[in-house]
Amino acid sequence: MAEFTTLSKRIEFSASHRYWNNDFSEEENHSIFGKCTSEYGHGHNYVLETTVRGPVDEDTGMIINIYKLKPILKSVLKEFDHKFLNLDTDYFEKLIPTTENFAKILYECINEKLKDSECELLKVRLYETKDLYVDYWK
């Protein structure tokens, strides 16, 4: 059986969002999503923790060089950093940008960029606040 080690990297970024389901009445939206229904949205200083796994290379002692991983993560976050998720990205045209949905989207985007890498994406953890986060993995 192959041995694997994990490596996790945290990156902070900011984005805003609004919770609203067009299939619900205004009253239902307010009842379910509360203050998160403001048409102007609200923002968060998110923390994304990305965990990759793979064998440790005998020559480098690393799973992946952090100087290779960090630009991949930053390139993904460029689509979301300082954006109003509902309007500035195509990902949330029909999908409510909850932390759960956002974590899944980030996982998929990062996973795509790591396809030809020496490691594989294990999971992402997205902190909306310091005490609220979502883990997503496949």
Q: Enumerate the active-site residues.
A: 36, 82, 128
Q: Roughly what angle, to the nearest 10 degrees, separates helices 99-113 and 66-77?
A: 130
Rounded to an integer, what distance in angstroms lies between the CA atom of residue 63 and that of residue 65? Answer: 7
SS3 content of the chain, % helix, strand, coil (to 5): 30, 30, 40
Exposure of 22 in the CB half-sphere (CA atoms within 13 A): 5
